[in-house]
Structure 1
Amino acid sequence: MKTTSVLVTLCLYVLIEADRHEKIMCKPQSGFQLSRCDPTLSWNSDEYPITCLKTSAKDNFSNEEIRRLKRQMKSIQEEWEDMKSMLAEMRGERGTESDCARQGGLVRLEKCYTVPHLSSSYTTDYDEAAAECAKEGASLAEIHDRAQQDDLHKFALTKMPAGHAYVFVWVGMTYNPQSSMLLYKSGKEIRSSRLKWRPSNNPSTEQLHKNLSMMVNNHTSDFGLINQGKFPFLHGGICEKEI
């Protein structure tokens, strides 16, 4: 009993002193039995019937604190994943000039123009061409002036299937046959005469011919815009996205 009392007293003393530095834990040393210890402890002895060990970091926290920290870590991880998704989405919407070059695109006035799919046959209607652009975070290209039209025509020539002298590609703005105005997604309107139309009775005055395509032709005298409905099948579309 006396030995046990001394050991308890010693542990309490060590714990009190350790509070000034770090918390420790006392337990009987392996191989010793408290009931058979010498009641008199010699401070000069090489061995004592107790061992003092550091407590682990886990022991310094309650179970509730550990659960709270785990919840916080999970919340931080979820926020990080959301941020990565947002950055990836933003990158998909805007991209960079190097991204555009890797896609074989044309960089012009802070926009990237691509032709994601140009078929050798008539397989793509207006909605399908728009969907192809959307896969790249883009939309069908809108043409605002003759200089841009000439640049896009030259670019599309480099994408033509082998053996083809010309193709027809969808573009994004629409045409009003009544007012002869071109309408853009921004709501802006311009005179259709500012752009080059394909010769042979274009633009059409048919009221349902509001969607636009462009003929791309190796013979540069025979190329330009064509207004028609949404459902004719063409070779593909020209896409644009900001960079």
Structure 2
Amino acid sequence: MSGPVTLDELKTMAVEIAPEVQARPFYVVDQKACGLPTETAGGFAISHLATNVFELPDWTGPGSVLAIDLQGCNTGQPRRAAAYARAIVVHELAHLVPMPASETLRMIEATPPEVVKANMRREMSIPADHVTTVTKTHGPAFIVRAAHLFIRAVATGYETQAADVLGYRWLTSLQHYLPFIIDDAIRMRFAPFSAVDQLPIPEEVRRLHARDGQRYQAYIKQGSEDAA
């Protein structure tokens, strides 16, 4: 890639490795340009935005949002920057798939827009080292989805940095999880993520993540001691 990575390129990649995101409108946006919260490093995902509370450009109706810090991703050497941006896409897609069930969509759409916006602002204000990032939002199921997406990206020809996919210093790098997931990821490369989520999570993945939880506790403890 000769120049900075673009949103169109990242959206094309996302659709290629997770076609199911096209079931509803799918927005890939620059989080800073759209006035979206910027506390998160790299980007974030919204599984279903029922109303255009953030005034996204080219809004065509309720759908999912993948927000990227495009300026941050394009810092540095172009090829390395593009590979990093793709890793962010893999990470955020792992939060989006599988797509929400119909009853979940109805519940979201019944929520008043001002409540949606307040909830989003609150979610975005949660520190990156909050406990939910270990126990809920970046648990073993998330890691399995991220590994499947990474394998799809590489198999499709997108140079992507495995070391950047998970993104937290207390999480073991994705390449250490891959040996326990890669066979299923290759076998189910074209399967919907509703099927991927039905796979049993390998015990090795659970063990690695449990160890990461211990690393997280040490990370938090060290941070507390440094602040004292």
TM-score, normalised by the number of residues in structure 2:
0.25
Higher alpha-carbon Rg: 1
TM-score w.r.t. structure 1 length?
A: 0.24
- Give the number of the structure whose residues are more often helix, by fraction: 2
